[in-house]
Structure 1
Amino acid sequence: MGGSATIGGGGGGGGERDLRLDFFRGLALWFIFIDHIPANQFAWVTPRNFGISDATEMFVFISGYTASLVYAKVLAERGFALAAVRVLHRCWTLYVTYIVLFTAFTAQVAYTARVFDNPLFAEEMGIAAYFADPAAALTQALVLKFRPANLDVLPLYILLLLCFPLMLPALRRQPLVVLAVSTALYVAARRLDWNLPTYPAGGVWYFNPFAWQFLFVLGGALQQAPGIAALLAARRWWMVVVAAVVLLLSLYLALSWQFAFIGALTPQWVSELIYPLSKTDLDPLRVTHFLAMVYLIVLLVPRNAGWLARPVLRPVILCGRQSLQVFCASILLSFAGQTILVQFDASLFSQFSVTVMGISGMVLLARLLSWYQSADRPPRAAAPVLRDSGT
């Protein structure tokens, strides 16, 4: 889906394309792929090892921003009915894609576990319940309650986008009011432990939609309130200092999880105050770290940054534009990489090779899709030539 504006596309709007959205979404896809390969030392390059938020926050925020960019334009030009239908059509596309991905991934894990006689694959990837009761598991998968490991972000996006038509008119007229309601829902969900159940019984959604909707709505609200966004992104020295301090403290916390001697330096009262840093319920410290990172990125990477158009970054941007298909491919490629490391060779060279080949496969898919879409478009008609009639 060339020119996709969200994780599942949605069509592009008019005007010059903001390459930052494609670049950082593509970068998030690469990071997600790397992080999904256990014991991969090259995961040290991803944000989760240098702060307390990761690529997921980036992905959800950009998805909310671009959904607002695309569908608010349709609402303004064509009315609510068409905007709602287009959102629901995109939801259907995402849903069908998810079911296909679920089937392919389950088959991949089941086949691998059987070939290598390693039932731990099925347990680690969360499909053991499928073998216990395939009919029930498939039924629960259809209602997004049964999900193998690493597939959680797509159901989250489906649900958020499904609710998007309800908030779109208000988001266009009163974005700050919608953001206030979203904030209240976020706070209530955390205080009252709201979440949705999963299958098998007893589980909850790994990405709590009542909490994660906040980042999605925040992205949409900032897109619809450019004045507020510009005010927040203004270069004020004290805001730069605060954001830098937040990133440094987050770096310290992230390193303390990896190195015991750093963790020992953390006072006990600080640990009791901040832990646990729940990813499921989108801990406020994760949000704080992410917003500090976004603020500095906006300052350092303006919309017209020339380096974004350099050929060396083209692979990342292409992956960002073909985000749905690339995400699905990354799920299958990451498990294939995990299989190679577990069953054959877990050396550093193998980790490097698996990482490079997986990202290369994602880029190749993005290139093929972009080529196909550009070839499938009808050529533009040549502008008529005005001739002097001699009159």
Structure 2
Amino acid sequence: MVLIASLPVMLWLLAHGRGWLLAASLAVWAVPQVWQINIPNYPTEGAWFFDPLSWQLIFALGLLLGHRLMVEGKGVPYSAPVFWIAVLYLIACGAYAFFNMWGTIPDIHLPASLVGNEKTYVALPRLAHILALAYVVGHSGVMGWLGRRLTAGNPLVVIGRNALPVFWVGALLSVIGLQVRYIHFGMDDILPFPETPKVFWLDTLLVAGGALVHYLVALYMDWTGPKAKRRPAEAPAAITPVPDATPGAAE
């Protein structure tokens, strides 16, 4: 909601040029990297897990790309060196996570929020990972393959078309699912949240049930949305020719 509330300001900057929006977004992102500025929780202690001052950069980059696609009809241009560097970076990140190499990066005397593995502040390695993944997927055959198969009635497209209400329902379902797991394992709400064991049948039920609820919500929004309420205009009644009343017309 905070990011959506910032959209008018972003659009105003975008109206003055893409460079204005990009520069402002980078500047706002850099502030919490250095001073770890975040929004405090209430009434509990701590701060937001996803700092909006940092995550707005990803939102702004998506807005910039969407604007470029709408205005110029083209996205980020392809570059073979950039593509393969992005692929290598993704492989390195995958190996780093798979082999549990956390904490092995040497200290370079910079804030951890900038060069560490910080998800809260979208640290530089995480930002590079997001951009590399988007670039590789966008310039691979995946997008064309999806475009040929994801028709307007595809469940994923229906859900994406109603992303905001589906997101709200998903947030509620995540809380319900957590409580279901707590009840199943006889746990309480002691903080920090305990790690609950994996139970295949329960996890499958929660995930499949949640996906079904998401789809049903999206179908309902399609059914009751503004487009569903529109009715085609009635065809005009046939016009009966008026006899010519001028003198001599009947002759």
Same fold (TM over 0.5): yes
Quote the residue 1:173 is aligned against: 16
Matched, 1:350 2:190: no
AA in 2 matched with 1:239: V
1:1-391 alignment to 2 at 5 Å? 158-200=1-43, 202-226=45-69, 230=74, 233-257=76-100, 263=101, 268=104, 270=105, 272=107, 276-300=116-140, 301-302=143-144, 305-309=147-151, 314-344=154-184, 347-373=199-225, 376-382=228-234
Change in 2 beyond 3 A, CA 1:228/1:211: farther
Could you report, residue by residue, the CA deviation over 1:16-48 in whole angstroms, capped at 9, with x for unpaired residues?
xxxxxxxxxxxxxxxxxxxxxxxxxxxxxxxxx
Q: What secondary structure is seen at the aligned counterpart in 2 of 1:197?
A: coil
Aligned length: 223
Structure holding more helix per residue: 1
Quote how far apart the aligned CAs of 1:295 are.
1.1
Quote how far apart the aligned CAs of 1:167 are.
3.6
Deviates more, 1:190-199 or 1:357-366: 190-199
AA in 1 matched with 2:221: L
Could you report, residue by residue, the CA deviation over 1:181-236 in whole angstroms, capped at 9, with x for unpaired residues?
21122112211222222224752222222211211222222333448994x73232
Change in 2 beyond 3 A, CA 1:375/1:220: closer
Q: Given that residues 38 and 47 in structure 2 are in contact (C-alpha distance below 8 angstroms), is that contact kept between their aligned partners in structure 1?
A: yes
AA in 2 matched with 1:241: W
Q: 2 CA distance for matches of 1:241 and 1:280?
A: 28
Change in 2 beyond 3 A, CA 1:250/1:203: same
Q: 2 CA distance for matches of 1:181 and 1:386?
A: 60
Q: 2 CA distance for matches of 1:224 and 1:303?
A: 23
Q: Given that residues 233 and 299 in structure 1 are in contact (C-alpha distance below 8 angstroms), is that contact kept between their aligned partners in structure 2?
A: no
List alignment gaps of at least 5 residues for structure 2: 186-197, 242-251
Q: 2 CA distance for matches of 1:192 and 1:184?
A: 13
Q: 1 CA distance for matches of 2:160 and 2:26?
A: 28
Quote how far apart the aligned CAs of 1:370 are.
1.2
Q: What secondary structure is seen at the aligned counterpart in 1 of 2:62?
A: helix
Q: 1 CA distance for matches of 2:68 and 2:221?
A: 33
| TM-score, length-scaled by structure 2 | 0.74
Q: Given that residues 51 and 120 in structure 2 are in contact (C-alpha distance below 8 angstroms), is that contact kept between their aligned partners in structure 1?
A: yes
Quote how far apart the aligned CAs of 1:271 are.
5.3
AA in 2 matched with 1:308: L
Change in 2 beyond 3 A, CA 1:246/1:229: farther
Q: What secondary structure is seen at the aligned counterpart in 2 of 1:380?
A: coil
Q: 2 CA distance for matches of 1:229 and 1:212?
A: 26
Could you report, residue by residue, the CA deviation over 1:250-305 in whole angstroms, capped at 9, with x for unpaired residues?
21122234xxxxx3xx794x254677411111111111111111112222315992
Q: 1 CA distance for matches of 2:227 and 2:83?
A: 45
Q: Given that residues 222 and 229 in structure 1 are in contact (C-alpha distance below 8 angstroms), is that contact kept between their aligned partners in structure 2?
A: no
Q: What secondary structure is seen at the aligned counterpart in 1 of 2:150?
A: helix
Quote how far apart the aligned CAs of 1:339 are.
3.1
AA in 2 matched with 1:199: Y
AA in 2 matched with 1:353: L
Quote how far apart the aligned CAs of 1:359 are.
1.0
Q: Given that residues 151 and 157 in structure 2 are in contact (C-alpha distance below 8 angstroms), is that contact kept between their aligned partners in structure 1?
A: no
Q: 2 CA distance for matches of 1:251 and 1:215?
A: 21
Q: Given that residues 170 and 178 in structure 1 are in contact (C-alpha distance below 8 angstroms), is that contact kept between their aligned partners in structure 2?
A: yes
* Aligned residues: CA RMSD: 3.4
